[in-house]
Chain A
Amino acid sequence: MKILSLFAAIILAACGQTGQNEVSYPILAAGIADATVAVGDWTIVLTRADVGIGPIYFCAASGASLDLCPHAVQEFTHDALIDGLDPTPQSLGQVTGVSGSLRSTKYDLGISWPLTSSNVVPSASAPEGHSVFLAGRATRGTDSFEFTAEIDIEPSYQGAYAILGQRVDVAVADSNARLLVRVAPDQWLARLNFDSLFAMGASPVRIADGYAALEDGSVDPRQAARNALVLAITNTQKPDFEWTTGE
């Protein structure tokens, strides 16, 4: 039997390959180095910026929608917590899959809606059960207030993912690679209206979903801030995926 197996192995080895190889390489995450950011007249010092992430799927299709990415080339099928204020690479685990070109990704941010579940499910790594949890202090001269932001970014419907079709462009040929996920919580704050938040007169101000409109019909500043953060996290300042050759 060993002789036959050896013979078969020789033939296999001598005669070709299957076109794709199994790959496994580390995925790491990094936040920002400077927790201080200026937004208008306000100086914001973030004291906490936790981001839940995973699972992450990398697809051959250009737009990783549900229909166009029924199967992935590589994936990170876990959830993890990223400290957005730590610029040093934080190990999240391993990306596994097969070699090939990656053109788009889809992933969840701390909250998933599995195909077989009727409700969304926060992951074990989700900060305070949310996708993103921010805390900090805003200062303008002598004005100052603390704030927290509890951001939930849920998949739109059952079996979907929070982020669909984010473009990437890389070909991973083997396991000699490394993926770094960068989050930029400072940039998420760029469109927040700290004046209106300060006008609420509270400290800390809790930015979250679910605030009703004000009596004059305008959007509650906390709700508006939450919406601005969601827009930044899911559209303008999405987490960035950066592949490098491993050391």
Chain B
Amino acid sequence: MRTRAHERIVRASLILATPGLVDLMDWFERQLARAVCLVFILACAVSASAQDTASGITPHAVVSRVDAVYPPDAMRERREGTVTLLVDIDASGAVTSATVDGDAASDLADAARVAVLQWRFTAARRGDAAVASRIRVPITFALPAATASESVSEPEPESESESESESVSESESVSESESVSESESESAPGSEAAPLEVTVRGSRPPASRSTSDLTLDHEALNAAPHDSVASQLASAPGIYVSRFEGDAVAHEIYLRGFNAEHGQDMELTLNGNIPINQLSHLHGQGYADMNFIIPEVVRSLRVVEGVYDPRQGDFAVAGSVDFELGVHDRGYQLRSTYGSFNTFRQLLIVAPEDEADDTFGAVQFRSSDGFGENRGSLSGGAIAQYGFDLPSQFRGRVHLAAYGARAGIAGVLRRDDINAGRVGFYSSYDDPSANAQSALATRAQLALSIERRAPRGARTTIGLWMMFAGFHSRENFSGYTQRSRTMTDWVGRGDLNEQINNDFSLGASFTHRTRRYRPWSAVTGDLAFGLSFRTSHVDQSQNLLQVPQNQTWDQRIDATIQASDIGAYVDTDWNFTRYVHLRGGVRADMLHFDVDDRLGNFIPQFRPESYVQGFRRTALGFAVGPRVTLELAPVSFLRVLFSYGQGFRSPQARQLEEGESAPFARVHSMEAGLRFAPDEGKRVTVTTAVYGTTLSYDVAFDAADGRLERIGPTTRVGFVASVIGRPWDWLYLSSSITTVHATLDGPPPATADNPAPPYVSGQLLPYVPPVVVRVDAGAKHQLATIADEPLVGRLGLGFSYLSSRPLPYGAFSNSVALLDASVSVRYGFLEIGVDAYNLFDAQYAASEYSFVSNWQTSTYPSLVPARHVGAGAPLTMMLNVGVTL
């Protein structure tokens, strides 16, 4: 602090220097000012030193310090306070006790004690002798500066002097920092030293962009059992995830009338700036495989349903999800899981107690025979993060992740074959091509981010990341329908479609948020800027294979794609009195594609070669869109939000023509909603909203090629309502219902095989569930105390309902209702529990399609698109045994 004060004097002295003097005088003045300042600093230092040693005592100093964790309940309930600890330090510098001075019965006090007991000091010394000491450590738990989304109370910009302490105390992650440097301590044993003041800041949640902008915290994510990160998404209103293609393929995501397939309509990120979606992936544009994320290390996830935040980039059509990684329960966790279908999982988490939540290492291994034929899998991965403090209020974080998985794929089955008993629901076709289906996925990524918290809420971040993702699948959706393009008399060898997609990407991001301004007494606001860049080098190929040797009998795709995305945004967040809040900005992206399509300009077998096959082309395009949110807070318990935004989805590069202005799919998203949160949401929060989305062109799955094809413009309108309640401290409840009316606004593009595709006004969009219901419940209670150790029980329930979905060609799927449950007890370091997924053993389709296939189960093949299903998992029971040290 003294140093900062003198720096200010230096700055003041420099400012006082008259700029109009000759250079020499100017130089002389500056040097004189500096000299005076240096002398003053030295004098202060000597004075301080003299004070420190006046009694012959050398005070203690902190050697290592463990951050106190802001108790989640306290943060949620917006409780603040200061806990003063009397800390006894022995002659070696170890903390021997920490007692609360005052009211000790609070979770804030517990959190403070837990942290301080892990601190280490240099011993205080009297002369050369180390002595025990007692010091007083006030630890202040303070919430971040309120924003409109947090409280209706108007945030007061701090004074300049306040901002100095703010600059070191405000931390977006739950962390701790000293606002005042250590001062002298009392050296005599048993006496009290001068305080070592510490402030613990809770995180400042991002400004709400819509009623449906929500963050699922640790409690919400762990209320119901989840066997994957993707399934955690289902706890957000309107989201449903499924997967039938095995453990090595990304989940399918449904949200608000969007069948986001493997991520085409959902922007997924990690730690705010590491993209999970992949550009121009062969298996689906925006392919996002979340399987590399270990569920236990997800600290929170933010879901924005709709496109209302200028930070949302490519693929944020239905919305976006950001996973924040961190381990809340510090220590060493070893967890073994074994259960149905010979499924085994081993997890190890190392979360050093003297590090912050974002520092951890986790490794997992999983194997399973699968719940039916050809569904076995093997996977493993590791994630490690290290967060570290740097001088000048900088904080850095290194993130590493590696993952690999291989799984068999049973494939989809014709519904009529199942109904006729020709194939079992959980089986695979008894066909060598069907049984050769599999997928392999790999991913490795490295990221570095540095952020600086500056005075009064200003914040600057920079991030770098690089990623390699490999994907290799062999899937046969259609049986025997294909004919070789290369050799037209090669037919009937099986439609085993091999897809290979290797993606090497790197990128960077920069964001800056200004301090909070107050141009008028009732108006406050800030400005934010952001830049992002990514470039991807994608090699992809698609071939037809003939089993059992997997001989290639046709080539469909062989291409290299170089794609880049440069994005920039400006965002503002202004409060006009405590009742009106306006946020919004503009985002612009420039995407560039360079495609080497080696099978372009295909030369059919019957045509003599007159040129070299191949087609190289480039394209570039801009996507610009505003996003704005108006929030009204007429009373403390009610908020009314109006949101509008334009987003985009980048095109599949191979479908671009030379020089085409990258025809983005443009989305217009709007929402009006209410958030009712009496008592600041401590017990219950109710939200309702109506929303609408239009998309300039949509895509749907084409089974013949195993990829997405355009179907035309679409509109979705719907309603969502959710209730989150904590009627008692030990019980968490969340429920939501989302309805949507999704329609095709025009006929699909005409093709040679269908020059006038059938279309009626108001035609329902296929694959979209009109109703999605989700209920999460979690109860955690101390059951007994045995030998002074609490026995804590946990119960969790998760229920998902997906209504009947329209399918192409007039068909409708069956509805899906699933109940998951978990129960566990924890005693000391040991936790034992059972998870049950699909408790009622419902036979349901994880995915349904309608297309033409021929599995030779009838005399003559049907060429009318038929319903196909990919089986969802039956009742699955898993026993968990965990040890936490």
Binding site for B on A (CB under 8 A): 1, 4-5, 7-9, 11-12, 15-22, 54-55, 57, 59-62, 66-75, 77-79, 96-101, 103, 112, 114-117, 123, 157-159
Name A112's closest neighbour in chain B (CB-CB): B860
Name B863's closest neighbour in chain A (CB-CB): A72
Contact status A117-B492, CB under 8 Å? yes
* Closest CB in chain B relative to A100 CB, distance in Å: 5
How far apart sit A132 and B809, CA to CA, in the bound complex (Å)? Answer: 35
Q: A60-B753, A75-B864, A158-B489 are in contact. Are A18 and B771 (CB under 8 A)?
A: no
Chain B residues with CB under 8 A of A117 = 492
How far apart sit A128 and B250, CA to CA, in the bound complex (Å)? Answer: 54
At the interface with chain A, which of B202-210, B799-807, B821-829?
Answer: B799-807
Chain A residues with CB under 8 A of B810 = 18-22, 98-99
Closest 4 CB pairs of A and B: A8-B803, A72-B863, A19-B763, A116-B492
Contact status B766-A18, CB under 8 Å? yes
List CB contacts (< 8 Å) of B855-873 with chain A.
Answer: 856, 858-865
Name B807's closest neighbour in chain A (CB-CB): A18
Query: Is B548 in the interface zone, CB < 8 Å from A?
Result: no
* Closest CB in chain A relative to B769 CB, distance in Å: 8
Partner of A57, one of B811, B817, B863: B863
Chain B residues with CB under 8 A of A116 = 480, 492, 856
How far apart sit A218 and B862, CA to CA, in the bound complex (Å)? Answer: 44
Contact status A70-B492, CB under 8 Å? no
Contact status A158-B863, CB under 8 Å? no
Query: Is B808 in the interface zone, CB < 8 Å from A?
Result: yes
Partner of B809, one of A4, A77, A98, A115: A98
Query: Is B854 in the interface zone, CB < 8 Å from A?
Result: yes
Chain A residues with CB under 8 A of B812 = 12, 18
Q: A11-B741, A15-B770, A98-B864 are in contact. Are A69 and B764 (CB under 8 A)?
A: no
Give chain B's interface secondary structure class.
loop
Partner of B864, one of A97, A112, A114: A97
Query: Is B754 in the interface zone, CB < 8 Å from A?
Result: yes
Name B754's closest neighbour in chain A (CB-CB): A60
How far apart sit A115 and B479, CA to CA, in the bound complex (Å)? Answer: 11
Partner of A66, one of B483, B741, B758: B483
Name A1's closest neighbour in chain B (CB-CB): B817
Contact status B492-A115, CB under 8 Å? yes
Name A108's closest neighbour in chain B (CB-CB): B860
How far apart sit A72 and B753, CA to CA, in the bound complex (Å)? Answer: 10
Chain A residues with CB under 8 A of B801 = 1, 4
List CB contacts (< 8 Å) of B765-787 with chain A.
Answer: 766, 770-771, 773
Chain B residues with CB under 8 A of A71 = 753, 851-852, 863-865
Chain B residues with CB under 8 A of A18 = 763-764, 766, 806-812
Chain A residues with CB under 8 A of B851 = 71
List CB contacts (< 8 Å) of B442-500 with chain A.
Answer: 480-481, 483, 489, 491-492
Query: Is B815 in the interface zone, CB < 8 Å from A?
Result: yes
* Beyond known contacts A69-B753, A99-B810, A115-B861: 20 more, CB 8 A cutoff: A8-B803, A17-B760, A17-B762, A18-B806, A19-B744, A20-B758, A21-B810, A22-B809, A60-B757, A61-B755, A62-B755, A68-B752, A71-B864, A77-B859, A78-B859, A78-B860, A98-B865, A101-B756, A101-B758, A116-B480
Contact status B854-A16, CB under 8 Å? no
Contact status A19-B860, CB under 8 Å? no
Contact status A8-B804, CB under 8 Å? yes
Contact status B758-A77, CB under 8 Å? no
10 pairs across A/B with beta carbons < 8 Å? A4-B817, A12-B764, A16-B762, A17-B762, A18-B806, A77-B858, A115-B492, A115-B861, A116-B480, A116-B856
Contact status A157-B862, CB under 8 Å? no
Name B741's closest neighbour in chain A (CB-CB): A15
How far apart sit A157 and B491, CA to CA, in the bound complex (Å)? Answer: 10
How far apart sit A8 and B769, CA to CA, in the bound complex (Å)? Answer: 9
Contact status B752-A12, CB under 8 Å? no
* Closest CB in chain B relative to A56 CB, distance in Å: 10
Chain A residues with CB under 8 A of B752 = 61, 67-68
Chain B residues with CB under 8 A of A69 = 753, 863
How far apart sit A57 and B854, CA to CA, in the bound complex (Å)? Answer: 14
Chain A residues with CB under 8 A of B754 = 60-61
How far apart sit A16 and B739, CA to CA, in the bound complex (Å)? Answer: 14
* Closest CB in chain B relative to A79 CB, distance in Å: 7
Contact status B852-A19, CB under 8 Å? no
Name A8's closest neighbour in chain B (CB-CB): B803
* Closest CB in chain A relative to B432 CB, distance in Å: 12
Name B862's closest neighbour in chain A (CB-CB): A77
Chain B residues with CB under 8 A of A98 = 809-810, 864-865
* Most central of B758, B759, B764 by chain A CB within 10 Å: B758
Name B759's closest neighbour in chain A (CB-CB): A19
* Most central of B752, B808, B854, B864 by chain A CB within 10 Å: B864
Query: Is B743 in the interface zone, CB < 8 Å from A?
Result: yes
Contact status A68-B753, CB under 8 Å? yes
Partner of B739, one of A11, A20, A21, A75: A11
Query: Is B704 in the interface zone, CB < 8 Å from A?
Result: yes
Name B811's closest neighbour in chain A (CB-CB): A22
* Closest CB in chain B relative to A12 CB, distance in Å: 6
* Closest CB in chain B relative to A2 CB, distance in Å: 11
Name A56's closest neighbour in chain B (CB-CB): B860
How far apart sit A78 and B858, CA to CA, in the bound complex (Å)? Answer: 9
Contact status A17-B804, CB under 8 Å? no
Chain B residues with CB under 8 A of A158 = 489, 491-492
Contact status A73-B864, CB under 8 Å? yes
Contact status B864-A72, CB under 8 Å? yes
How far apart sit A117 and B480, CA to CA, in the bound complex (Å)? Answer: 11
Contact status A19-B760, CB under 8 Å? yes
How far apart sit A115 and B483, CA to CA, in the bound complex (Å)? Answer: 9
Name B717's closest neighbour in chain A (CB-CB): A15
Contact status B803-A4, CB under 8 Å? yes
How far apart sit A115 and B851, CA to CA, in the bound complex (Å)? Answer: 18
* Closest CB in chain A relative to B642 CB, distance in Å: 25
* Closest CB in chain A relative to B720 CB, distance in Å: 14
Chain A residues with CB under 8 A of B492 = 114-117, 158-159
* Closest CB in chain B relative to A168 CB, distance in Å: 14
Contact status A16-B809, CB under 8 Å? no
Contact status B491-A75, CB under 8 Å? no
* Closest CB in chain B relative to A25 CB, distance in Å: 14
* Closest CB in chain A relative to B751 CB, distance in Å: 9
* Closest CB in chain B relative to A23 CB, distance in Å: 8
Contact status A157-B760, CB under 8 Å? no
Chain B residues with CB under 8 A of A78 = 859-860
How far apart sit A20 and B492, CA to CA, in the bound complex (Å)? Answer: 30
Contact status A70-B803, CB under 8 Å? no
* Most central of A4, A74, A103 by chain B CB within 10 Å: A4
Partner of A115, one of B491, B757, B771, B811: B491
Name A68's closest neighbour in chain B (CB-CB): B753
Q: A4-B817, A115-B481 are in contact. Are A9 and B864 (CB under 8 A)?
A: no
Name A116's closest neighbour in chain B (CB-CB): B492
Chain B residues with CB under 8 A of A115 = 480-481, 483, 491-492, 854, 861
Name B748's closest neighbour in chain A (CB-CB): A19
Partner of A59, one of B483, B489, B753, B759: B753
Chain B residues with CB under 8 A of A5 = 803-804, 815
Chain A residues with CB under 8 A of B741 = 11, 15-16
Contact status B480-A74, CB under 8 Å? no
How far apart sit A66 and B762, CA to CA, in the bound complex (Å)? Answer: 32
Chain B residues with CB under 8 A of A9 = 804
Contact status A11-B770, CB under 8 Å? yes
Contact status B860-A99, CB under 8 Å? no
Partner of A16, one of B763, B771, B803, B863: B763
How far apart sit A61 and B756, CA to CA, in the bound complex (Å)? Answer: 9
Name B840's closest neighbour in chain A (CB-CB): A1
* Closest CB in chain A relative to B791 CB, distance in Å: 35
How far apart sit A240 and B860, CA to CA, in the bound complex (Å)? Answer: 22
Name A59's closest neighbour in chain B (CB-CB): B753
* Closest CB in chain B relative to A104 CB, distance in Å: 10
Name A60's closest neighbour in chain B (CB-CB): B754
